[in-house]
Amino acid sequence: MRPEREPRTGEVSRPSPAVPDRDDALSVLFGTSTALFASMAGPAHVLEAANPAFFTAIGGGQRERTGVPLGDLMPELEAQGFLRLLDQVYRTGERHVGRDTRVVLGVGRRAREAYVDFTYEARRDTGGNVVGVRMIGVETTQVKHARRLAAEQRALLEQIARQAPLPEVLEGMCRVIEELSPDVIVSVLLADEEGRHLHHGAAPSLPAFYNQAIDGIATGEGAGSCGTAAHRRQKVIVTDIATDPLWDDFRELAGQAGLAACWSTPILGRDGRVLGTFAMYHRTPRAPQDTDLALAGLFVDTAALAVERHHAEQARRTADARERAARDDLSYLLTVSTALAGPLDEGQTLRRLAELAVPALAPLAAVDVVEAGRMIRVASAATTGRARELLASHSAVRETEDDAVARVLATGLTKVARRTPPGPGPWQELGVTGYVCVPLMDRERPFGVLSLYATDGASLDGHRIALAEEVARRAASAARNARQYAQRAALARDLQSGLLLPDLPDVPGAQVAAFYHPAGQGLDIGGDFYDVFPRGDGSWSFVLGDVCGRGAKAATTTALVRHTARAVAPLLDDPVGIVKAVDRALNDRSSQENNGFVTLVYGHLTPVDDGLAVELVRAGHTLPLLLDAGHTVTPVEAHGGLIGIGIPPRLDAVRLTLRPTESLMLYTDGITECRAAGTEQYGDARLLKALASAPARPAATDIVRTLTEDIEAFTNGRTVDDDQAALVVTAEGPSPRVR
């Protein structure tokens, strides 16, 4: 690269014939692209060539000319500093690069804001003299606005979702649009219930006197842009307030506020009702561009959502104000939902239901369910202990047609009576004067009944009956969820136990111990697994691994790995060959069965005179750890890649001998990556320290116990986010010796 320089005094700069040819070529190159290209000559920056995209960007029309200084063609560039930048590049020959640079293109009504990535670079002749400046750029306005618009729109929707106050949402929306379009002033007016008047909603950039003056204006033809838009129920665009008859009554007010143009869009609800207006003002007369109209349309929808959400909230609050009991009901239902949302089983949920019903709904409550065709009273509650005992001793009889509980179970309908229940029972002693029996539904079938009993002449009115039905619905849902939770947890436990060894086998010359702790609540089948099995020739196979993912797919992958290893281990002596066979089995799955990669450590144990001979292969897994007789912990370096990813792994076998009392530990990363209450991870260093702290001459079970106790102390009972598994092999019979 030649150094750029200024011409010496007296030196004549003659442009090379190649220079215009090159720029012509560039003009052709960029002629059909969306990139902006312009070539300027001399210190006056005379526009010699430009592509159509450049002329389109600057406004087209009378501006599509060459042979004139850029400052004459685009006078707005002077105040924005772009001509000074051109002068600087022409004078110094040094390139200037702008990123996401704001520029106002055009003047007056045709002016628009744009953002551009551009480069100014010097044009030189063959002698290295600067003869002009070349501009290459890409307009980023739409991308920039789209990103900002999406982010701001999302923020507004989040405000609406969390029921932020309507003035806060509307003012935030106005400010967002004004930031996206700096020349725009935004106003939102809200319609009254009849849609006949518009009231101030938000207009943070309009003068206070203007907002006060138009607050409460009537809708109708000629009522400015907003009143007319609400009346017509369609967009009204006034490009010049000074001359438009729609502003006759407000022209002086607009002049005092410095407003020259106003485009108003009605805000319509989903039912077509006018909710308000959304206005965009300008301080100079101008017509809206397509982007302005699109922006208005987008935020009108957002405003409609916010206003409708506000109306719904107002309706709810009005109802609460009119009916104090309704507020108490909501509070009570919230208490019920919270109480039933805890980690309860089905029986606890139904007992909690009876307790929650007394005394809020009635002084006496009982819950009966059908189990194996029989009616069983599972819960009762009362304001006194004696009354609860009496109620608990009574049980409905399903076969009796007159029994209220039996009838509700048969019909699935609530039964109400203002008298003593039919049939035998402690009704007189309890002073029961009326009852309501509400079904507990599992989808469309009743599985139980909530019975409420009134005493001392008090009645169960329609309000309490409706509340009881809602409480019963929530309790039935909670009971069903608790039952499904228990069934799912049991299923996960059963499936997980089928994927793990119920008991580790007795391995001659070795002690083997394992540790497994599933993540979360144990509802999903984990991806960690281990296995130990004989090969039929006196040696034993061991494997510990981690499957990508959780759930049913992880279970099928785990089963595939274990069963493939068990199937080929007696047939192949080389652990590398066995792991490659597992890799092929994983890769042979259909795309629907594919559940990602697998990491594992697989190896063979063979009893020898001086301990246990170990030959192992590591496939992308954590390094095995060796605990020697001196309580020194060292990683076993073994190289190997992931399996099940469609790329043949490079695997190396490592051989070593475990002397008596020496141990080999395999583990999954759920141990080292588990976290305490803060953000600290358990980590490799703590794991090594925990292993080294095992008792002298530890058995395999001692090492597992030491490790689990240290992990529990670290997590302090916190639920772990990943499965944890470890497998320990200790030689029986005193550091490793690599063969």
CA distance between the termini of the chain: 60
Upstream peptide bond of 359 is cis (omega within 30 degrees of 0): yes
> Which tens digits make up the pLDDT trace of 437-457?
999 998 888 999 999 999 986
Give residue 23's pLDDT band: very low, low, confident or very high (50, 70, 90): low
b/e code 152-172 from CB counts within 10 Å (16+ = b) = bbeebeebbeeebebeebbbb
Hey, which residues does 267 pair with through a beta bridge?
A: 276
Two structure tokens written together for 636: 């076993």
Q: Which of 524, 533, 454 is nearest to 495 (CA)?
A: 524
> Which tens digits make up the pLDDT trace of 459-491?
788 888 999 999 999 988 888 887 776 666 555
Give residue 339's pLDDT band: very low, low, confident or very high (50, 70, 90): confident
**Sign of the torsion formed by the C-alpha atoms of 610, 611, 616 and 618:** negative
Which of 94-103, 512-521, 688-697 is the least confident region?
Answer: 512-521
Q: How far apart are CA 489 and CA 496, in angstroms?
A: 10
Q: Are 62 and 173 in contact (CB under 8 A)?
A: no
The arrangement of strands across the sheet holding 611-619 comes to 528-534, 540-547, 598-608, 611-619, 653-658
Which whole number is the average pLDDT over 583-608? 84
Q: Is the pLDDT of residue 320 over 80?
A: no
pLDDT at 62: 85
Which whole number is the average pLDDT over 54-76? 90
Hey, which residues does 367 pair with through a beta bridge?
A: 379, 450
Residues above pLDDT 90, as percent of the chain: 48
Which whole number is the average pLDDT over 44-52? 93
> Which tens digits make up the pLDDT trace of 372-387?
778 889 999 999 999 9
Two structure tokens written together for 549: 């993912």
**pTM exceeding 0.85:** no
Distance of CA 159 to the CA centre of its chain: 16
> Which tens digits make up the pLDDT trace of 493-520?
545 454 556 688 999 999 999 988 877 5
